[in-house]
Amino acid sequence: MGALSGCMAAPDSAPVTSAAPVAEATATPTDTPPVFASNDEALAAAEDAYSEYQVMSNKIAHEGGAEAQRISEYTVGEVLESELATYERMSTDKIHLVGDLAFDSFTLQSADLSSGDVIAYVCLDVTQTDVIDAAGASVIPAGRPDRYPLQVSLLHDSSANRLFVEKSDSWSGSNFC
């Protein structure tokens, strides 16, 4: 027995705890609510965003492309790149817009209520506009159409909680204007 006593550990005077730490319960994550409650709400938000974009676009074009970066508050992607290139040409060529581009119809093509992204059909009305050079002469070719059918994509930015105009393509189907 004496030989075995050397192999045995001395009794531990510290209390033994056998319970493992227990994870605290947390609330189950909930689904993110949709950005828009309905197609009508998405359409109204898209029309407002496009209107704001067009106001700034007209302003920059009236000023011959000056301070073009202001358009980035309303656009992203292809439209931002295209607008900046247009304003650069306006500045270089010393031309500017007279009158205001407008739209006379704005129709929902599709809306992703969860992401907030919207695609719309827009009739761009250019009847009250001209682009003139430094001498005051029009640089618009004769026979320009009065209205252009467009398909416009607006992207929802969740951090800004607003829509930005992302794409604006000429509609290749039947003219809906």
pLDDT computed for residue 127 by the predictor: 95
pLDDT computed for residue 21 by the predictor: 52
- CA pair distance 33, 111, nearest whole angstrom: 15
Decide if 74 contacts 55 (C-beta within 8 A): no
Decide if 116 contacts 35 (C-beta within 8 A): yes
- What six digits make up the tokens of 5? 């006593």
- Residue numbers of the chain with a pLDDT score lower than 70: 1-30
CA distance to 10, 22, 172, per residue, from 15 (Å): 14, 19, 81
Decide if 101 contacts 124 (C-beta within 8 A): yes
Could you tell me what percent of the chain has a pLDDT over 70? 83
Q: Specify the CATH architecture of the domain 36-170.
A: Roll (3.10)
pLDDT computed for residue 31 by the predictor: 74
Each domain of the chain, given as residue ranges in start order, spans 36-170
